[in-house]
Amino acid sequence: MSNLEAGPKLRELLLIVDDRKEVRAALQRFFEMYFERVLVAATPPEAEACLRKYQPTLLLCDYFLGVEWPPATSLIPRWRAAFPCLVRVAIMSGTRSESIANCPEADAVFEKPLNMREVTEFLIPASTSG
C-alpha cells in the first residue's frame, strides 16, 4: 500500500491554519481521509489555543493570515519553541516559495495551488516512523 492509499487512519493530530474558510474546510475534508483528527484555525490566537489544548504533532500553516497578523515565518519559530509537540511544520503560500523569508523552523514550504500528493507524503512519514 502506498502512503496515499486509504487505510487505517493515522493517530497523529494535524492542525491546519488558514484565514480562508473554504480552504480550511477543503483541507480538513481531504486530510480526514488519512488522520483520525484534523483541527482547523483561522487566526494565530485560535491556532495557539489548539496547540495548547490538543498538542498536535503536525502543522500546515498558510503564510499570509491577513493584514492584522504577522506572516507564518514570524509565528512558526515562536510556536516551535513553545510547543515541542510539533514534529513536522509546513508553510503553504500563494507566494513563490523562494520569495518567502528564510524560516529554518519550517520543515517545508508548499506553493498554492497545493500538490496534495506532495503535502500528504510530507505529513504521513511523521506518523508512520514510530
Cell of 50: 489548539
**pLDDT (0 to 100) of residue 102:** 79
Rounded to whole angstroms, the Cα distance separating 123 from 125 reads 6
pLDDT tens for residues 28-44?
A: 999 999 999 999 999 99
- What's the pLDDT band for 94 if we cut at 50, 70, 90? confident
3.20.20.70, 3.40.50.2000, 3.30.70.270, 3.40.50.2300: CATH of 10-128: 3.40.50.2300
pLDDT tens for residues 6-25?
A: 567 888 999 999 999 999 99
**pLDDT (0 to 100) of residue 129:** 44
- What's the pLDDT band for 127 if we cut at 50, 70, 90? very low
Rounded to whole angstroms, the Cα distance separating 130 from 108 reads 20
DSSP helix/strand/coil, 46 = helix
- What's the pLDDT band for 78 if we cut at 50, 70, 90? very high
Mean local confidence (pLDDT), 50-67:
97
Domains of the chain, by residue range, sit at 10-128
> For the chain, what is the mean pLDDT?
89
pTM: 0.89
